[in-house]
Amino acid sequence: MNRLATFLIMIFIISCQTTEKESSEVVKEEFNWKTDVENTIKQYGHRNWIVIADSAYPVQSNPAIKTITINESQIETVEFVSKLIDKAPHVHANIFIDKEMGYVQENDAPGIEKYRSNLLDVLKGKHTETMLHEVIIRELDASAKLFDILIIKTDLAIPYTSVFFQLECGYWNAEAENNMRQLLEKASSNEP
């Protein structure tokens, strides 16, 4: 009888230790995704993408597309990534939202109205563009042929809610590029 009691006590102690270890690993994982995204933004430049996706977004087979799955609110994740991009001096973002989201009805996807409202608040003052989901995906796929993409999958279960950040150079814009190209062309045409 004493052996059985000792055995049960040891099992109980071991199971408590495992639970503590597992819960600390979960906290560590939640912390690491933010650090990973922060480091990724430091590495990324213009033509890279970061996508905050709902839970049904597929893992893609292209090795240039890295997918991480997190246990975080999609709105909070969009806000976190947006703020990191705003603080980064080397990039800014074109933000794309699925056009279909504007046509999803609350009775078909409970929570969509609150999500749309919260997303508008988080992206207030930022230039966003709506495009059909398939058009954005084609752009993403074309970019992935040459450039890395990060997909951050959240636990949100509402369709057409992904937010796409297409990174651009933070210290050079299309107008400056066009001016430089015109001068370059003019100089080239004057060469013997």
The pLDDT score that the predictor gives to residue 141 is 94
For residue 181, what are the domain limits? 32-190
Q: What is the pLDDT of residues 146-163, one digit of tens each?
A: 999 999 999 999 999 999
pLDDT digits (tens, 9 = 90+) for 94-112: 999 999 999 999 999 999 9
CATH number at residue 59: 3.40.1650.10
CA distance 85 to 167: 9
The structure tokens listed for 87 are: 């603080």
Domain count, the chain: 1
Dig out the tokens for 77 from the structure: 């994740």
Q: What is the pTM (predicted TM-score) of this model? A: 0.80
Around Cβ 169, how many Cβ atoms within 10 Å? Answer: 15
pLDDT at 155: 94
Assigned domain for 98 exists: yes
Within-domain flag for 1: no
Query: Does residue 25 belong to any structural domain of this protein?
Result: no
**Closest alpha carbon to 166 in 147, 182, 189:** 147
Asked, for residue 48, whether it belongs to a domain, the answer is: yes
Does residue 6 fall inside a structural domain? no
In a domain, 168, yes or no: yes
Pairwise CA distance, residues 45 & 186, whole Å: 29
Whether residue 55 lies inside any domain: the answer is yes
Tell me if 2 is assigned to some domain: no
